[in-house]
Structure 1
């Protein structure tokens, strides 16, 4: 028995072989070492030596351990071997706990009315009257409950019965196989599925009817016809599957066509679609009508956001002019709309996009040329303005010189001085001097 000790046992009470507290301890007379009896016996089977000091040792040299050591190891506190039980007790009292008070120990029924074993804690709610008693069947020996014994006997396969057709005595287990070979059993003709209405004893069918049955004479035809019928059913199932797949494909194509119609907008050609539909209706009106009635895709409205940029197909004048102006549009808006180049609806969407791209490239070239011309005109205008500014500066400089001469003469008249001319020119006036309140 394995013990779960509470706390760490004293190291002096541990066996040096199993490293657990002593169980039935014995001591050697030669060296005085103490071991568990079972551990030491197993060690001596391998070598006749003491496991501690390797001195010679035999079973005759063993003696019971001091009673004090036995008492110490027996008083160690251990847990109950049932993990569900929280009880702890001395090791020497564990056996009595398991036999007398542990609620999880298995015990027999106290009334001895049944052989069931159960936990001690469940004894109070144990009821022997609900235990099913098994009794053996006298025919087959199978153990069965007493309540079901009568029903079992009436259906027991080992019970003797007799054939209803030939009155042969046999067991129920043999009755099912006997009915398949009994010559007196009433059977139908093997060609009954093909129309033969004969029925009678199996012996007469084999001896007389089988050779005279008209359906048996053409049994090969029935076999070929059945094979052909099976093949046609398989082909019909395959065709039904393909039909369902094609209907799903048509529904998908119709939804994609509606999406393409919404994406193409004014370039959508309704006449081509209607022609396609008419061809389909002429070739497969039933399929087309079933698809059109069962298709849940709602109709998509025509996309007319760019209608003002396209010529009307009904009015030749509008087609030639290339625009459609509403009656409520102002004259300015009408004139602006007249200058918009119409898109070519006679070509495909790709051709219209190529034309738009060419128009954009041409417009880009025109804008580039216009930019360059504007740059040249700006440069020329700038040069002309520079020349005008230079001429204006020269005129202002001449005026400044004249004013300067007048101021010198005026100062001479005021001061009474007559400055002498140097080399036919007036001498330069000193800077920082004021004449009549004016700084020269």
Structure 2
């Protein structure tokens, strides 16, 4: 039996308190698997935040803190905050069967109990088992070291769900199994450490360029004059700047200054815009609501636009067909030149399948090359014609093979029918012969029985006639007729020592 700290048996029972101040999320199951491998193991390195780091556990020594001169931002270090799976925004509603009954969010690292079959998030169940080692639903006892296992099917279903990136301003949508790598490595809005080695603050990855320097320096706002850090200018403009807004000259709406272009292009209700079918001839130019209503009711030039697009597609298709036709005409012309050339006609004979080969040709003249034949424009034309001939012969051979297969199948079918008829005829003859043999056997049995009866009835008369006593007479013709007309009843052959012949 393996020790209880092996992956097969679960996690080691908690021997030390891991209640500690709030810090980046680490899996509790992972933490006490790690601490069970040795008497003293350092915890994960603390995250470098502007606030003081949390106090270490008294039973575990703290890891050495790197100096500020050696700090660098890396995608593999602990400078990137952990992804909070419970705050993810899913693209479609999640099935309630895939939600944890404790936190009411989709499972993260789901574990299932062996005793009752209920599934929970690993972290949620750990917190529940700290209070009481029973199932939170049906209150059955649960042993964390033996009664928990990971359901791979549930994990696969969860990892295929579509989620949105949790960073503000990022519109990326991907599966849940890829959102971690996107968040940690690729998202431009993930907060990472400032490229300045002496700065402990965070900035978006898109702004963390070594050439830009530290962005956590104060600069006066150009609209309100307040001192704001460079990294917080965008949020300052959107939220707290008193002079960051301006009035739209078309609709008098109050708009953020650096969003004015987007407002004029897509949102302003007082700006005059053209109909989307302007390039097809529509001359409507009015305010946005009127133009949108005009497009909704149906612009007459929309049909013209569809016709123009269809005509462009037809023109492209016609050009493609014309190119194919020119290619086919060129091939047909080359084939015609080849067929009209006397030197290109194969001679009949045993080697007539080899184009250009003649048994009686002059050997000293050498093979006829495409360059020496004026009918060929180039060696490529010669090879093309040869390939076409081979393709035609292969097609003929294939047709002959199919015909031969069909004839062979018909011949086999006819032979099978003929053999079946012969078998039926032989069966009928065997049946007739068996009937005749049975009839002959019955007749032979009847004759033997008659002879036995005649022998048994004639023996007393013979003995009496030999003695010459009185009262005896010879059998007459009437006696024989009477015997044949009324034969005596047959006696049972059992006990006579004679066995009748068997058929």
Structure 2 length as normaliser, TM-score?
0.24
Greater relative contact order, per chain length (Cα 8 Å cut-off, separation 6+): 2
- Computing the radius of gyration from Cα coordinates, the structure with the larger value is 1
